[in-house]
């Protein structure tokens, strides 16, 4: 059975004291509201990961990294390896975010290597992809998303998908306040699941959680999450407020 997941991607926000404060608030709200049946993840900046992982260890909140290098170690100044994440008890990583693709030149081939490195180290991957506005305007969104998934993931064995969560984030909806309609999200999620069915069969496809990301807020989360192929959300701006984030968690 696939899981409901709500993950907060803090991006390059929150210094150490702000990260600790927000993580504590989220953990407290999750406990107080007895959140059940939804996996809650927060992804602080890498320099604060160890502290936040320790701080949330006894809570139901899991911690994810926002990025990772594909190599085990070596001369890659400024980078962080899967093994390093594992050594501080971080067991989930976000890969392929559109900001990584756009500002840091990450392409499908590089992401395939990162996915392999994460899985080899037993780190769960939240794999992001999505079309830009020009693709959607031209009616190419399914072709773009299909090729992003195939190029980065379809070299994997079926069993690898136990440790993969997919996150559809249309680039035109990220940080813009413009959300995909629940129907647009559902249509794309159904297409993604069908793409998985065609390659790996229904059992694998049915068990993969597919998250939607892009201007999810407390006001629109319920309707988006009510769609049958939407298994949760990857939240940016609204994850920086514990109350808003919890309201989204509770939208299920
Ligand atoms: P916003 O929720 O701020 O649109 O960001 C979405 C996102 O990029 C999450 O990874």
Q: How many domains does the chain have?
A: 1
Structure tokens at 93: 């990583």
Residue closest by Cα to atom 2 of ligand 1: 236
Q: Whole-angstrom Cα distance, residue 168 to residue 149?
A: 10
Residues with CB under 6 A from ligand 1: 9, 97, 169, 174-175, 213-216, 234-238
Q: Tokens 């927000």 sit at which residue?
A: 22
Per-residue confidence (pLDDT) for residue 178, from 0 to 100: 84
Pair 228, 252: CB distance under 8 Å:
no
Which atom belonging to ligand 1 lies closest to the Cα atom of 11? 10
SS3 label, residue 87 = helix
Give tens-digit pLDDT for 87-104. 999 999 999 999 999 999
DSSP 119-144: HHTT-EEEEEE---HHHHHTT-HHHH
Extract the tokens encoding 129.
């992809």
Mean model confidence pLDDT for the chain:
97
Question: Average of pLDDT values for 176-187?
Answer: 93
Distance (angstroms) between ligand 1 centre and the Cα of 131 equals 14
Residues annotated as catalytic (active site), given as ranges: 97, 169
Distance from the CA of 235 to the center of ligand 1, in angstroms?
5
Which CATH number characterizes residue 141's domain?
A: 3.20.20.70
pTM score of the predicted model:
0.98
What are the pLDDT digits (tens) for 96-143?
Answer: 999 999 999 999 999 999 999 999 999 999 999 999 999 999 999 999
Ligand 1 centroid to residue 201 C-alpha, Å:
30
pLDDT at 252: 85
- Residue having the nearest C-alpha atom to atom 7 of ligand 1: 236
pLDDT, one tens digit per residue, over 168-180 is 999 999 988 888 9
Ligand 1: residue whose CA is nearest its atom 9: 236
pLDDT value at residue 220: 96
Question: What domain range includes position 15?
Answer: 4-249
């Amino acid at each position: 059975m696939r899981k409901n997941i709500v993950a907060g991607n803090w991006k390059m926000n929150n210094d150490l004291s702000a990260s600790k404060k927000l993580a504590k608030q989220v953990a407290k709200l999750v406990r107080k509201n007895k959140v059940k049946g939804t996996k809650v993840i927060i992804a602080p900046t890498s320099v604060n990961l160890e502290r936040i992982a320790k701080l949330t260890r006894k809570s139901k909140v899991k911690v994810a990294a926002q990025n990772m290098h594909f190599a085990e170690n070596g001369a890659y100044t400024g980078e962080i390896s899967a093994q390093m994440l594992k050594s501080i008890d971080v067991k989930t990583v976000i890969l392929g975010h559109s900001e990584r693709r756009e500002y840091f030149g990450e392409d499908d081939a590089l992401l395939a290597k990162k996915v392999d490195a994460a899985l080899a180290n037993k780190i769960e991957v939240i794999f992001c992809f999505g079309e830009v506005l020009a693709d959607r305007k031209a009616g190419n969104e399914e072709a773009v998303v299909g090729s992003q998934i195939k190029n980065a993931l379809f070299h994997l064995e079926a069993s690898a998908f136990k440790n993969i969560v997919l996150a559809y984030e249309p680039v035109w909806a990220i940080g813009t306040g413009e959300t995909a309609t629940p129907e647009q999200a559902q249509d794309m999620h159904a297409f993604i699941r069908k793409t998985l069915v065609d390659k790996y069969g229904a059992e694998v496809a049915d068990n993969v959680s597919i998250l939607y990301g892009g201007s999810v807020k407390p006001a629109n989360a319920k309707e988006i999450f009510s769609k049958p192929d939407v298994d949760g959300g990857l939240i940016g701006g609204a994850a920086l407020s514990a109350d808003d984030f919890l309201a989204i968690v509770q939208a299920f």
